[in-house]
Amino acid sequence: MNRTQFSTIVLAAGKGKRMKNPDLPKVMYKVNGKPMIDHVVELAIALGSQEIIAVVGFKKEIVIDHITATFGNRVKFATQFEQLGTGHAVMQAKPLLEDYDKDVLVLSGDVPLLTKRTMAELIRHHRDTNAVMTVLTAYVDDPTGYGRMIRMPDGAVDRIVEEKDANIEERSIREINSGIYVFKARPLFEALKHIDRNNAQNEYYLTDVLHYYTHHGMRVSAVRAQHFDEIRGVNTIEQLDEAEKAVRINSHLFRE
C-alpha cells in the first residue's frame, strides 16, 4: 500500500454506555487479548497510513496514555468534547489535516476485526472508481442496529439511512453500512460544512455527506466485505463476547 497516500482518522471518543465498566472508554475493552483500539491502529500502520489521528473524548487521558505507551508518537490526537455524532467527530480532526489533498480512511475504534486484505481492496476500489467516498458494506440476516444502504436502480449508492430514521421498507434492507469509509479529503471537509442535526438522534451523521455529494454529481462507491465478522461493531458486552467468539471460530480470516 506504500504506493498510495492516505491518512487515517480513528473514531475513539465513545463512552460505552452499555458496557460493564462505566469508567472505561469503550475502545479499551479487549478483544483477542488486547484493547480494540490497538487492533485498529495496527491496521492503519500495516496499510501504510501517512498520518493516524485518534479522535478521543470520554476519559481521553486513558486512551491517549495507552496509545502513546504502545505506539509512541505514531498517533496524533483530536478531542471531541461533546458527543454530537460521527460527522462531528471527523470535524475535530480537520485542523490536523489542513490543506491535505489526498485520501482519508475513517475507521471505528470499536470495530476491531477488520483485515488488511479487505481494507486494501476498499482503498483500491476507491481509487479505481475515482469516487469521493467509498463505503464498506455487508449483507446480514439481521440488520438491526445498523444503517441501511439505499441504492439507485443502477446499483450506485444513493444514501445511507440510520435505523432510527428508516421507514418499514428501508428497515427490511439487509445491506448495511459498516461505518468504515475512504474519502477524498477536500470534498469531505467541504461536505461536512453542509450537514445538520435534523434527525432522530440530534447528531451530525457522517453519512449525511452523501446528500452533498449526490447533489453535486460526485461519485459514491461501495465495497462489500466478504465476512460479516470483519465489520462487527462492539457496543455491548454481548457483542464483545460475539467478537471473541468470531476470532475463535474463524481464526483463519484474521491471519495476516
169-189 per-position pLDDT tens digit: 999 999 999 999 999 999 999
**Active-site residue flag, 174:** no
For all residues of the chain together, what is the average pLDDT? 92
Q: What's the pLDDT tens digit per position in 186-223?
A: 999 999 999 999 888 899 999 999 999 999 999 999 99
Q: Nearest-CA neighbor of 13 among 72, 69, 68, 87?
A: 87
* φ/ψ (deg, to 5) at 175: -90, 125
Please check whether residue 197 is in contact with residue 203, taking contact to mean a CB–CB distance below 8 angstroms. yes
pLDDT value at position 112? 95
Q: What are phi and psi of 206, to 5 degrees?
A: -60, -35
CATH class of 6-248: alpha beta
How does strand 6-12 pair with strand 52-56?
A: parallel
Q: Which three cell numbers stand for residue 32?
A: 483477542
- Tell me if 8 sits within 8 A of 44, measured CB to CB: yes
Question: Is 60 exceeded by the pLDDT of residue 255?
Answer: no
pTM as predicted: 0.93
Decide if pLDDT at 224 tops 80. Answer: yes
Q: Which of 3, 18, 117, 219 is catalytic?
A: 18
Q: Which of 83, 105, 112 is nearest to 13 (CA)?
A: 83
Q: Which residue has the cell 447533489?
A: 215
Q: Is the dihedral of CA 146, 147, 152, 157 positive or negative?
A: negative
* pLDDT at residue 256 greater than cutoff 70: no
pLDDT at residue 252 tops 70: no
Average pLDDT over residues 22-50: 95
pLDDT tens per residue, range 118-142: 999 999 999 999 999 999 999 999 9
Alpha-helical runs (H) found in 56-184: 60-71, 86-91, 116-128, 168-171
pLDDT band at 2 (very low <50, low <70, confident <90, very high): very low
pLDDT at position 1: 41
Q: Is the pLDDT of residue 71 over 50?
A: yes
Q: In the chain, what percentage of residues exceed pLDDT 90?
A: 75
